[in-house]
Structure 1
Amino acid sequence: MVHPTILVTGATGKIGGAVASLLLQLGWPVRALVHRQDARSEDLRSRGADVAVADLFDPQQLQEAMRGTSRAFYCPPWHPYMIQSAAAFAVAARLAGLEAVVGLSQWLAAPDHPSLATRQNWLVDHLFAMLPGAAHVIVNPGFFADNYLRLVPFAAQLGLFPMPTGTSRNAPPSNEDIARVTAAALMRPDRHNGRSYRPTGPELLSAADMADILQRVLQRRVRHMEIPLWMFIKAARALGLSIYELTNVRRYIEEHRKGAFEIGAPTDHVLEVTGRAPESFETIARHYAARPEAGRTLAHKWRAIGDFARIGFTTVQDLDRYERDQQYPLLDQAHLAVDSREWRMEHAPANSLAMPSPKGAVRA
């Protein structure tokens, strides 16, 4: 059987890369959209991908990269003008006559959210749903397991798991489970058209629960260290997050604290769509613990100490002022998802409230 070619954006990233790899393993032709040629794109080419170098914000380059493909995965870039790339993608998709688009969105997506990225994700969901003749599937995970496990070096070297989430819980999905759901939708868009899937892990966990799991995985004492939001922002900046990313991530921590990721979780969507159970947090953590930076060496310990100390010397500008200075569109009346009627109308689970969906979509 000859499979249609699937375009995968963000093909050298964590989610896009996992989607591309899985499709290639299953024998599907993949056109991997990358921003530049490097070792990661060469690896994809060596495994059979047709690598296309294109700017996700350039409509003409996108149209050329999409030529000859039938389905596509849109992985939104972390960028304040992401909506422009999505509009260019939608134009290219229509001109190419794509039969299916799968978009990576967010569990929090809402039109009145204070996060610019989250509002734009909501707009993109509705934009892609309006593509004529194309099947459309939304994959809207919450806070990824990867977000927590970036702290494995601190846990491994210092026995600390610093998180500002209090006693709130989440059932975080692995990058691989998100990719498996995405790949399944791309391979059988007729089966999944109009659906919105929220991949989660199998159980709700607090930060303290995660610290206990890391203690078992790393075979050393690990304790959850509750830190204030301002310290988390400084730490995230010290570890490389951009100011734009911080303007959004601070909102997600506020949502986390208020229990947004507990609502409707865990789901059975990974099992339903892929036929296999989702990975547990412990299984995911063991992958991260096996990485070289988690090895308990003197050099790694000193690096962790240095990274932790650098937090105190890291300055972060006023994020509200930054958004105003950048002239980001700001709402007079913005609401976190847990406080938003619009969000509950579209995202709360069907067994708690009856929810209408975007035109042409059926919320799973």
Structure 2
Amino acid sequence: MILVTGATGNVGRQIVEQLVSAGAPVRAVSRRPEQTAWPDGVEAVAGDLTAGLSAEVFRDVTAMHLFPVPDRVAGVVAGAEAAGVRHVTVLSSLAADSDEHGPLSRRHLDVEQAVAASTMTWTFVRPGMFMTNTRQWAPLIRAEGVVRQPYPDSVTAPIHEDDIAAVTVAALLDPGRHAGRAYELSGPDPLSQVDRMAVISRAIGRELRFDELTREQARTDLLRSPWMSEGLADALLSLMAATVGARDGLVLPAVEDVTGRSPRTFASWVEQHRQEFVGA
């Protein structure tokens, strides 16, 4: 049995579906499993990583995918280890390899270190920016034809959530090959925010405008989110500032190395989600 925590998330859901397609037995953990239409054969159970997981959740589990929640990670790891789980994949972040170890990296490092300190083998999956983060632009694009962000020339190589899941699934199905590896993941193209806006514009057939926010305006917007701290907001904005015009070294080979195919493009992601930017 393979246990997937964070199973209703953008990556977790794809992990569940890809494991099912591969014929693997899956137990999916989420806070409200009854609210999700799961694929046939998935055993859906209730669980909350912020409160810890019961011993029953780990019954017959040999491999586990761990969503990064640092608060109770020591107890979750101990429970998995005691139940005989042998391999753990962690949804981490490129930020985990940062030398600064600020709020962007700390939560991921705490989870990685707790897993590495156990007797279980592990694979750390460290993606950069998710393509799906661009969905936050959709309401303004639909309403006003505008993208309103700071640092229009800030560059990333965003990655499709399906590719993050594919690397994770490979490690869950073949731990012997992937144990002890930390895979740093990116999409196939370095794209500025203006580049991404242009891809969306072409896909929906509508001219869009980029309204540049000042750092302080953007910081105020970020802090409206209930999960955003001042330290994290400042770290995010500093990362954007540091990547203005920086395109070298952003495209990484791990997706192709692990899966044998090129990572999906941002244009393909936009086409999948096109209706969200067009509206009804």
The verdict on a shared fold, with TM-score over 0.5 as the criterion, is yes
Deviations 1:262-287 (A, max 9, x none): 56320111111112211111111122
SS in 1 for 2:262: coil
Q: State the alpha-carbon separation in 2 of the partners of residues 269 and 231 from structure 1.
A: 36
In structure 1, runs of 5+ residues without a counterpart are 77-81, 298-364
Q: State the alpha-carbon separation in 1 of the partners of residues 16 and 229 from structure 2.
A: 25
What does residue 35 of structure 1 align with?
31
- The answer on whether the counterparts of 1:94 and 1:131 sit within 8 Å (CA) in structure 2 is yes
- The answer on whether the counterparts of 2:127 and 2:159 sit within 8 Å (CA) in structure 1 is yes
State the shift of 1:236 in Å.
Answer: 4.1
- 1:107 has 2:90 as partner: no
Deviations 1:237-278 (A, max 9, x none): 55xx31435642441231122029856320111111112211
Q: Which amino acid aligns with 1:31?
A: R
Q: Note the 1:1-364 alignment, pairs <5 A.
A: 5-40=1-36, 43-44=37-38, 47-59=40-52, 61-76=53-68, 82-109=69-96, 110=98, 112-115=100-103, 118-132=105-119, 134-236=120-222, 241-244=225-228, 247-259=231-243, 264-291=249-276, 294-296=277-279
Runs of 4+ in structure 1 deviating by more than 6 angstroms, as ranges, are none
Deviations 1:285-309 (A, max 9, x none): 1222123xx3356xxxxxxxxxxxx
Q: State the alpha-carbon separation in 2 of the partners of residues 95 and 141 from structure 1.
A: 29
Q: State the alpha-carbon separation in 2 of the partners of residues 64 and 74 from structure 1.
A: 16
- The answer on whether the counterparts of 1:111 and 1:122 sit within 8 Å (CA) in structure 2 is no
Q: State the alpha-carbon separation in 2 of the partners of residues 55 and 155 from structure 1.
A: 34
Q: State the alpha-carbon separation in 2 of the partners of residues 225 and 285 from structure 1.
A: 21
Which structure has the larger Rg?
A: 1
Deviations 1:136-186 (A, max 9, x none): 100111221122232023224422122213422110001111111111111
Q: Which amino acid aligns with 1:152?
A: A
When the two chains are superposed, the root-mean-square deviation of aligned CA atoms in Å is 2.2
In structure 2, runs of 5+ residues without a counterpart are none
State the shift of 1:67 in Å.
Answer: 1.5
Q: Which amino acid aligns with 1:69?
A: V
What does residue 358 of structure 1 align with?
none
- The answer on whether the counterparts of 2:4 and 2:12 sit within 8 Å (CA) in structure 1 is yes
Q: Identity of aligned pairs, percent?
A: 27
Q: State the alpha-carbon separation in 2 of the partners of residues 246 and 181 from structure 1.
A: 32
- Report the number of matched residues: 278
